[in-house]
Amino acid sequence: MKSLIVCVSKSHGSTRRIGDRMAEVLDAKVVEPESVDPETLGEYDLVGFGSGIYYMSVDARLRDLIRRLPAVDNVRAFTFFTSGARTIPLMDYNKPVRKQLELKGFDVIGSFSCRGFDTVGPFGLIGGINKGRPDDHDLGRAAAFATRMRKKVAGSQAAS
């Protein structure tokens, strides 16, 4: 199975730590959006798209890459995010990204999120929130999620 993880991680590297852990399970390379040749994504069986959440949105670099992607066929994808705040239904960071990927022809088979260390705005004045996150428990959850993604792709390839 050929996998790739596209990840934007600024500030404290929380999202990259999650992406790296998933990459270990998937035997995937982790790259930034600028390193991706959009024309080659159709060659992958599974592509992960991850970002920290900055000011209640996915990083612009990831959004720009997704806008530039050509249509693909039969490429499974997943999304993952780290955020200082809890995910709430009214602010579903996954929904717009999922919708854009599906419009490009990706089959989005899952999403993962966890808390990350956040020192933006007023949180910086108090030393930040979620210090130490993602922690070992979060990284274990990320590995288990990646295992489920791998099994879904392998199962669908075997059925083909």
Tell me: the pLDDT tens digits for 74-124? Answer: 899 999 998 766 665 556 777 889 999 999 999 999 999 877 656 565 555
Check residue 151 and give its pLDDT.
95
Strand bridging mode 46-54 / 76-83 = parallel
Question: Which residue's entry shows tokens 């996150």?
Answer: 133
Report pTM.
0.88
User: Rounded to the nearest 5 degrees, what angle is found at the Cα of 31, between the Cα atoms of 27 and 33?
Assistant: 140
Tens digits of residue pLDDT in 35-61: 999 999 999 999 999 998 776 678 889
As given in the structure block, the two tokens for residue 59 are: 């990083």
**In this predicted structure, what is the pLDDT of residue 121?**
57
In this predicted structure, the answer to whether residue 3 has a pLDDT above a threshold of 80 is yes
Q: Which of 93, 86, 84, 87 is nearest to 118 (CA)?
A: 84
* Dihedral pair phi/psi, residue 76, rounded to 5°: -85, 150
Q: What is the mean pLDDT of the chain?
A: 85
- Strands 46-54, 57-58: pairing kind: antiparallel
Per-residue pLDDT averaged across 122-136, rounded?
64
Domain ranges of the chain: 3-159
CB 49, CB 97: distance < 8 Å: yes
Indicate the fold that domain 3-159 takes in CATH. Rossmann fold (3.40.50)
For residue 9, the model assigns a pLDDT of 85
The pLDDT of residue 83 is: 74
